[in-house]
Chain A
Amino acid sequence: MKLVAKKDVVHVLEAWSKDYSILAPSLRENGDCVFDAFDASMFTIEYRKPPMPPKSSYLPQNESIFSVENGTFTPVIHHEKTMLFGIRACDLTGIRQARSFYSRDVDDVYHRSHAEDTLIVVHACSWPQNETCFCTTVHSGPYAQEGFDIQLFDMGTDFLVESGSDAGRFLITQEPFRDFDVDDAAERLSRVKHMAHNSIPIVAEVVDAMEVLKGAGANEGVWEHFGRKCITCGGCVYVCPTCTCFNVVDRVTAEGSGERMRTWDTCLYAGFTREASGHNPRPSQASRLKRRHEHKLVHFNPVDNQGALCGCVGCGRCSDYCPVHIGTLEVVKAIADHIY
């Protein structure tokens, strides 16, 4: 294990940015903090849960997958060595779940190429980012068990640095990384992990709701209640680390030329399931919300979970951002407590 002074991190990133295109927390002039292209003047290590998960590094919001010029087809596969610096363990679990889904039955070459090009530095959480965090309930955090290249643990003025891959080990061999060679290193790390784990409360309703859904299912009243007030903005899907559905469209630039794009989509829109005849197997907003939440909590493929409990990684963003409070936390409470 290694140590690095927090104040040196910006210099480390400056050095790494020669080889990688780095996405890192960035503090804007107006006080907003977002993940953006690394810029030393705006970089910050003091940040809370970023509004967006890092899924767009693997599945860009819009991505050209092949182009056609005068009838000739050319696949478009982007290659750019990328580093995600400072993502949280829940978001890494989201990436790993999507990676499993995108490689399990079909090898999605676009997703794979992004994954192969991306190096991940996890910033383990020492405490909940805010009141909607429930990673400890769904076993996705507060620190990563695997799947990272480097992981940082907050030790006050230093980070304790753990490597999870050869690429990660190589990056932390040089100054300003220094050896953490005290006798009780492992014990100290375990203490930090333990405290972090205990600081994030377990949300029992998540497990209870999963049981209800596995059994007789939720009362239809639950879905009707939420369906009535959903404004169909799709925001919950945008901010969800594990929502990775896309639509495929063609952009024609000239006769015989154009490109095929894939763009983010959401099952909360009626057109997602509407069939050519006009029939829609998910005909109401209530039924579409039911589909989405059941997919996260019961109808997932366990192979894709990657150590987590279900298809939700407990980041809490849907509860943070839904304008009418239809986040996972609100939904599982309604199901578990049989409110509607």
Chain B
Amino acid sequence: MTNSINEFDDADLFFVIGSNTTAQHPLIGSRIINAVENGAKLILFDPREIPLAQFATLHFKQNLGTDVAVLNGIMNIIIQEDLCDRLYVESRTEGFEDLKKLVTRYTPKAVEQITGIRASELYRAAVMYAQADKAMIVYAMGITQHITGTDNVKTLANLAMLTGHVGRPSTGVNPLRGQNNVQGACDMGGLPGVFTGYQRVNDPATVKKFEDAWGVTELNTKPGLTITGMINAAHQGSLKAIYVMGENPLTSDPDITHVEHALSNLEFLVVQDIFLSETASLADVVLPAASFAEKEGTYVNTERRVQLARAAVPPPGLARPDWVIIAELCGRLGLAADYGGPAEVLKEINALTPSYKGITHARLSSGHGLQWPCPNENHPGTEYLHREQFTKGKGSFLPCDFKPAAETPDDEYDFILTTGRVYYHFHTGTMTRRIDILEREAPEPLVEINPEDAKKLGIRNSDTVELESRRGSIRLKAEVTPRVPKRVLFTTFHFREAPVNRLTNSAFDPVAEIPEYKVCAARIRRCP
């Protein structure tokens, strides 16, 4: 997030796209509800009637996978109506002419044809967003889980820069991070091409710094593979071993049948987890890890806040904190990694990561966390990013053209299947499906279908249906509800009984390599 969570309270307008906020980030959702009750406006883009829709000033149900066209259409209106922040565009950005040239083609009429949003309605959204003083864009997986995920994000950034809506309090672009520490994992280099703090693995000065710190030479300077890349490489046989930590790709990755083939093709699979997940069941070695309550360390939340957590109870049996397991493994591989504890690990992070330099163990112990960038020990942390200039100096407009989803409905597979989550379960349910009350609240997989479609197909509420794509089929119960638009089916990936990722498409974004979980073609029929 470029802003902080507290800044939601003072925003004048929220532009929420691809985020079922009250279900997936309920405390942030509650900030939006409170702000709307106090007079803020809410422009919502979501094909489904999500709970936040009841609070929306404007709610648009765009056709799935057409976000770039929606946003380019809005920018075109803003430019045509001369509502852009000219001073901001001139002083802080570059590439405006290219953007203007591209979005000119996105006339309200053309956009209506692609997205299904009426031209006059889009006009209202454009004017409302451009004229707001403090406007926050909020997005989540509905933006990123597309083959155009990177284009979607760039286009949102274009929109914010065009209107000067980034770099002030309660004004910015805010991807809501889903897991308690996904931000931390990325910050710590859990990505193929970077060390901690997004320092590139192919930058010679950075490589030298890490080599010196670790007492090694010739660190690999080639970016590694993404998850989707690893699965494909394993499938082809060029990748021999995978070490999975706290992830359950056999349920969470798209096209599971393909994942199964890939994992069984490996010579060696190691899984480190707190429970025996579906993926761990296939592993040659399972390393039992300590859970959040059984270890000390830091988490980084969605507002870039690093927070210290302490162990409440000791880990059971042979389970150990992840850092201990990794350090021991390093030792056996011949690299001494004898840290005395999480505080010493953080000390190394402080020394090697400029944005984390001031986030010390002592400061975290005596407060409620620090937000990076925090370049020295006297720095209070950073509430919002891009205050006077962007990280790279001037912000570049990166115009993108609309591209359709990889798989769109046809005569054979005539519905769009989109996937997401419910309030009560987390991802593949390795943890939440063991919690009795959560399991009681959401005990079984359901596929949402619009009443008109259901009627045509003779499907009634709670009927068992077969849901099928080109890659596989699952059986589950139908929930007949106007929450989904016509010709769209929605279900979740929490349930191993009906793993929807047998159906999803493994086509992925060319840059981030994130799979297109949000759109694939499917068909549905009632089981006799």
Residues of A within 8 A of B (CB): 29-31, 228-229, 231-233, 247, 249, 263, 265, 269-271, 278, 323-325
Task: Write the chain A residue with the least CB distance to B34.
Answer: A324
Number of A-B contacts (CB under 8 A): 46
Q: Give bound CA distance, A278 to B462, whole Å.
A: 10
Task: Write the chain B residue with the least CB distance to A32.
Answer: B368
CB-CB under 8 A from B27, the residues of chain A are 231, 323
Contact of A231 among B22, B367, B437 (CB under 8 A): B22
Q: Could you list some 16 contacts between A and B, CB below 8 A?
A: A29-B365, A30-B366, A30-B368, A228-B54, A228-B55, A229-B30, A231-B22, A247-B437, A247-B440, A263-B437, A269-B437, A271-B437, A323-B31, A324-B30, A324-B33, A324-B34
Q: How far is the CB of B52 from chain A (nearest CB, A)?
A: 10
Q: Give bound CA distance, A265 to B441, whole Å.
A: 11
Asked whether B29 lies within 8 Å of A231 as measured between CB atoms, the reply is yes
Interface residues of B in 288-337 (CB under 8 A from A): none
Q: State whether the Cβ of B26 lies closer than 8 Å to any Cβ in chain A.
A: yes
Closest CB pairs A-B (n = 9): A323-B30, A271-B440, A249-B436, A231-B26, A324-B30, A271-B441, A229-B33, A29-B365, A324-B33
Q: Give bound CA distance, A232 to B23, whole Å.
A: 9
Q: State whether the Cβ of B268 lies closer than 8 Å to any Cβ in chain A.
A: no
CB-CB under 8 A from A323, the residues of chain B are 26-27, 30-31, 34
Task: Write the chain A residue with the least CB distance to B440.
Answer: A271
Q: State whether the Cβ of B423 lies closer than 8 Å to any Cβ in chain A.
A: yes
Interface residues of B in 1-55 (CB under 8 A from A): 22, 26-27, 29-31, 33-34, 37, 54-55
Query: Count of B residues near A, CB < 8 Å?
Result: 21
Q: Give bound CA distance, A209 to B457, whole Å.
A: 50
Known A-B contacts A30-B365, A232-B423, A323-B30; the reply to A269 vs B441 at CB < 8 A is yes
Q: Give bound CA distance, A137 to B223, whole Å.
A: 66
CB-CB under 8 A from A247, the residues of chain B are 436-437, 440
Contact of A265 among B26, B33, B366, B437 (CB under 8 A): B437
Q: Give bound CA distance, A247 to B439, whole Å.
A: 12
Q: How far is the CB of B310 from chain A (nearest CB, A)?
A: 10
Interface residues of B in 399-457 (CB under 8 A from A): 423, 436-437, 440-441
CB-CB under 8 A from A265, the residues of chain B are 437
Q: Give bound CA distance, A323 to B423, whole Å.
A: 16
Q: Give bound CA distance, A29 to B363, whole Å.
A: 10
CB-CB under 8 A from B365, the residues of chain A are 29-30
Asked whether B441 lies within 8 Å of A270 as measured between CB atoms, the reply is yes
Interface digits, B329-369 against A, CB 8 Å rule (1 contact, 0 not)?
00000000000000000000000000000000000011110
For chain A, what secondary structure do more than half of its interface residues adopt (helix, strand, loop), or is it mixed? loop
Asked whether A30 lies within 8 Å of B367 as measured between CB atoms, the reply is yes
Given A229-B33, A247-B436, A249-B436, 18 more pairs with CB closer than 8 A: A30-B365, A30-B366, A30-B368, A228-B55, A229-B37, A231-B26, A231-B29, A231-B33, A232-B423, A247-B437, A247-B440, A269-B437, A269-B441, A271-B441, A278-B462, A323-B30, A323-B34, A324-B34
Contact of A29 among B22, B26, B29, B366 (CB under 8 A): B366
Q: How far is the CB of B437 from chain A (nearest CB, A)?
A: 6
Task: Write the chain A residue with the least CB distance to B369.
Answer: A30
Task: Write the chain B residue with the least CB distance to A250.
Answer: B436
Q: Give bound CA distance, A49 to B55, whole Å.
A: 33
CB-CB under 8 A from B441, the residues of chain A are 269-271
Q: How far is the CB of A65 from chain B (nearest CB, A)?
A: 14
Q: Give bound CA distance, A229 to B53, whole Å.
A: 11
Q: Give bound CA distance, A247 to B438, whole Å.
A: 12
Q: Give bound CA distance, A269 to B367, whole Å.
A: 34
CB-CB under 8 A from B29, the residues of chain A are 231
CB-CB under 8 A from B368, the residues of chain A are 30-31
Q: Give bound CA distance, A270 to B33, whole Å.
A: 22
CB-CB under 8 A from A325, the residues of chain B are 34
Q: How far is the CB of A303 from chain B (nearest CB, A)?
A: 29
Task: Write the chain B residue with the least CB distance to A270.
Answer: B441
CB-CB under 8 A from A231, the residues of chain B are 22, 26-27, 29-30, 33
Q: Give bound CA distance, A263 to B435, whole Å.
A: 10
Most buried by B among A231, A249, A265, A269: A231
Q: Give bound CA distance, A233 to B33, whole Å.
A: 15
Most buried by A among B22, B54, B55: B22
Q: Give bound CA distance, A285 to B37, whole Å.
A: 19
Asked whether A263 lies within 8 Å of B436 as measured between CB atoms, the reply is yes
Q: Give bound CA distance, A265 to B437, whole Å.
A: 8
Q: Give bound CA distance, A175 to B212, whole Å.
A: 63
Q: Give bound CA distance, A271 to B440, whole Å.
A: 6
Q: Give bound CA distance, A233 to B30, whole Å.
A: 11
Q: Give bound CA distance, A129 to B365, whole Å.
A: 27
Task: Write the chain A residue with the least CB distance to B367.
Answer: A30
Task: Write the chain A residue with the least CB distance to B364.
Answer: A30
Interface residues of B in 431-490 (CB under 8 A from A): 436-437, 440-441, 462
Most buried by A among B27, B31, B437: B437
Q: Give bound CA distance, A249 to B367, whole Å.
A: 38
CB-CB under 8 A from A229, the residues of chain B are 30, 33, 37, 55
Task: Write the chain A residue with the least CB distance to B362.
Answer: A29
Q: Give bound CA distance, A228 to B55, whole Å.
A: 9
Q: How far is the CB of A237 from chain B (nearest CB, A)?
A: 12
CB-CB under 8 A from B37, the residues of chain A are 229
Task: Write the chain A residue with the least CB distance to B23.
Answer: A231
CB-CB under 8 A from A271, the residues of chain B are 437, 440-441
Q: Give bound CA distance, A233 to B437, whole Å.
A: 13
Q: How far is the CB of A32 from chain B (nearest CB, A)?
A: 8
CB-CB under 8 A from B22, the residues of chain A are 231
Q: Give bound CA distance, A281 to B462, whole Å.
A: 18
Q: Give bound CA distance, A247 to B440, whole Å.
A: 10
CB-CB under 8 A from A31, the residues of chain B are 367-368
Task: Write the chain A residue with the least CB distance to B441.
Answer: A271
CB-CB under 8 A from A30, the residues of chain B are 365-368
Q: Give bound CA distance, A31 to B440, whole Å.
A: 37
Task: Write the chain A residue with the least CB distance to B443.
Answer: A271
Q: How far is the CB of B438 from chain A (nearest CB, A)?
A: 9
CB-CB under 8 A from A29, the residues of chain B are 365-366
Q: How far is the CB of A41 from chain B (nearest CB, A)?
A: 15
Q: Give bound CA distance, A229 to B29, whole Å.
A: 10
Q: Give bound CA distance, A233 to B438, whole Å.
A: 12
CB-CB under 8 A from A232, the residues of chain B are 423
